[in-house]
Amino acid sequence: MNPEPGTVQLQGLYEGPVSSWAPQQELVADALRRAGAPDNCLHAVTHGGRGSLEPEPILFPRGQFADAPADCVALALELMLEETLGGKPDEWFSTLRVIEYQERVQIESLIQVNEDGIRGISREQPWTPVPQKSLKDRIWQNKLILSLAILAFLVYGFFNRHKVGEWVHAFETRFFSEDFAIAEEYRQELNGFGTFLYAEAEIEEESNQLVVTLRQTNAYPQTPSDFDLARDQADRLEGIALAALELGKAQVVLHFNAGDVQRRTVSLVDWEDDGSLRFKFETTSWRGTELTLLEIES
């Protein structure tokens, strides 16, 4: 992951015992939005008796921050703590860093959480972006390898004509046959999530995209106390699902009749007022295949 000018990266974490503070993902995302930061740049994580706020390991465009990125993150932390504790939690320690990459410098800000407030301590360092090689340059540098690979493929194709023919047929089936479809015997396996939500899958006619809609059941926990009560009554799979719901993340796993499997991590934070979430999947590369199984995993 090579940073480019105009991008922002978060590193480190804010960590401590859950006995003094246990932030919920919904609270974290809401505070980030109100502070002018991307609502997925920090995630609430609980492991054993420890909790933490951990960054999403990607580069964010600078334009997604309403103000200086470090100021936005600091404000979000301040909102979280003030609304839940009214101050700094005991024994929590911050190593959170916000790095903003500009044309010639990078601005690295350490987010300090003290009794007298939250602020970013910044420093500037010279920085030069890693030059991006053009496709022509990469081909020229690897021309010997490409030549040997092409020669090897031709030799292989000559002695394995039948298998190459099967590959060509599979390619034609995938890209030049009918559109993607949902199998008549399509089924779902929601594992422990099935108690708290159900899924719908349909193909959008105009775009031919696969639309997966998750809907909350009456058993879906709406408050922290609801989560505590659900955990007391949950079996093992439901407990795993509840942990994923609290983190605000799950995996949608799609199985196709050709044997392919596609996984996508989705955010379970911004539910609609009717308790639904919609996710769209581009199906261009799935032409000629059918969806046979949809799973939800933590």
Mean pLDDT of all residues in 160-179: 63
Tokens (6 digits) for 71: 């100021």
Residue environment code for 58-79, b if the CB has 16+ CB neighbours within 10 A, otherwise e: ebbeeebbeebbbbbbbbbbbb
Encoded amino acid at 53, one letter: L
**237-286: per-residue pLDDT in tens?**
999 999 999 888 888 999 988 788 888 888 888 899 999 999 988 877 77
Cα 268 vs. chain centroid, distance in angstroms? 10
Range list for CATH 2.60.40 in the chain: 181-297
Say what the pLDDT of residue 182 is: 87
- Other C-beta atoms closer than 10 Å to the C-beta of 190 total 19
Q: Is 222 helix (H, G, I), strand (E, B) or coil?
A: coil
Mean pLDDT of the residues in the chain: 86
pLDDT digits (tens, 9 = 90+) for 53-100: 999 999 999 999 999 999 999 999 999 998 888 778 888 999 999 999
Please report the beta strands in the chain, taking only residues with DSSP state E, as ranges in sequence order. Answer: 7-11, 14-17, 42-47, 50-55, 60-61, 93-94, 97-101, 105-114, 117-126, 181-189, 197-203, 210-216, 249-256, 261-267, 276-281, 290-297
Q: Which element (helix H / strand E) includes 240?
A: helix 236-247
Residue 286 burial (CB < 10 Å; 0-12/13-18/19+)? buried
User: What is the mean predicted confidence (pLDDT) over 39-54?
Assistant: 92
- CATH code of the domain made up of 181-297: 2.60.40
- pLDDT digits over 175-226, tens only? 554 677 888 888 888 888 999 998 998 988 777 788 999 999 999 999 999 9
Q: Which residues contact 149 (CB under 8 A, 6 or more apart)?
A: none
Helix, strand, coil percentages for the chain (3-state, nearest 5): 35, 35, 35
- Please state the length of the chain: 298
Residue with tokens 């379970």: 268
Tell me which DSSP letter residue 286 carries. G
At 134 the pLDDT is 60
Amino acid at 108: E
Ranked by mean pLDDT, the top range of 24-38, 84-98, 108-122, 191-205 is: 24-38
* Average of per-residue pLDDT across 290-297: 90
Residue 214 CB neighbours (<10 A): 22
User: Of the candidates 22, 27, 76, 80, which has an alpha carbon nearest to the alpha carbon of residue 47?
Assistant: 22
Q: What pLDDT score was predicted for residue 162?
A: 75
